[in-house]
Amino acid sequence: MKRFYTIVCILLTILLFVFIGNLYITKTTQAVSVVIKDMDGNSRIVNVSTQLYKRDLPLVEGDELYTPSKLEWLVLTLNSRRVHHSNYKIYYEASRHDSNKVIVNIRHDDLPLEKLERLNQDVQIGVFLLAKSYRWNWVKVDVIIKKKMTCLNGTLTFNLT
């Protein structure tokens, strides 16, 4: 039990130092009750008090609060799970015209048609599985497949399929 109290004290100390990043702060206190089970299965209620700190300074550019939409959150999660390959690249973006659609961009170096079709299916299944894990059945997927951009003698050329 001492270990638990030590861990709680460490976490509260970390929270305290994280939120005191600025001299202009306002302190508020919140109390939370936590149910703890020990090794024998006995339950006990422990009251934990936390101190939250808020800045009194005005927000600067880039410091504004922003809550992403569900679609933006899904795209952010998909892009964070990307695997890099040498002969193709996949990245995801939210559609600007349809708030339920994820656009999957696949850029490749002359992949065979069979591999592109398989990659297309795998990417769509991956998007739908992640959306399903959030219980978001409204998600639609649009896949755009293009050849990678090449640079020859300082000029950019696009090879589209």
Calculate the dihedral angle through the C-alpha atoms of 141, 146, 148, 150, rounding to the nearest 10 degrees: -140
What's the structural domain count of the chain? Answer: 2
Q: How far is residue 80's CA from residue 68's CA, in Å, rounded to a whole number?
A: 15
pLDDT on residue 65: 76
CA dist 95 and 145 (Å) reads 16
Check whether residue 23 and residue 98 sit in a common domain: no
Shared domain check, 47 and 92: no
In a domain? residue 29: yes
Could you tell me if 148 and 89 are in contact, meaning their C-beta atoms sit under 8 angstroms apart? yes
Q: Is residue 65 part of a domain?
A: no
Residue 62 covered by a domain: no
* Contacts of 27 by beta carbon, 8 Å cutoff, 6+ apart: 51, 52, 53
pTM listed for this prediction: 0.55
Asked if residue 26 and residue 101 are part of one domain, the reply reads no
The Cα 48–Cα 2 span in angstroms is 15
Residues 48, 110 share a domain: no
From first to last of the 161 residues of the chain, give the pLDDT tens digit. 677 777 776 766 666 555 554 444 455 555 555 566 666 667 666 665 555 555 555 667 777 777 889 999 999 999 998 877 888 889 999 999 898 999 999 988 888 889 989 999 999 999 999 999 999 999 999 999 888 766 555 545 555 54
Domain with 77 in it: 70-157
In this structure, are 131 and 75 located in the same domain?
Answer: yes
Q: Are strands 101-108 and 150-152 parallel, antiparallel or unpaired?
A: unpaired
